[in-house]
Amino acid sequence: MKKLMLLSIAIVGFLAGCHTVSGVGRDISSGGQAVSNASDHVRSEM
């Protein structure tokens, strides 16, 4: 029950920060870009 409550609060906070469905898409895209950039950086350091 606690896990469900924490998950619900996290989702509400995430959606409140985005305000719109397109905002969610931009946030996800931005997160993906950050992961891609980090991957490129690690690859260049090897």
Judge whether 22 and 28 are in contact, CB under 8 Å. Answer: no
Cα dihedral 24, 30, 34, 35 sign = positive
Per-residue pLDDT of the chain (46 residues; tens, 9 = 90+): 788 888 888 888 777 766 666 677 888 888 899 999 999 888 898 8
Judge whether 9 and 18 are in contact, CB under 8 Å. Answer: no
Q: What is the pTM of this model?
A: 0.48
3-class secondary structure, 19: coil
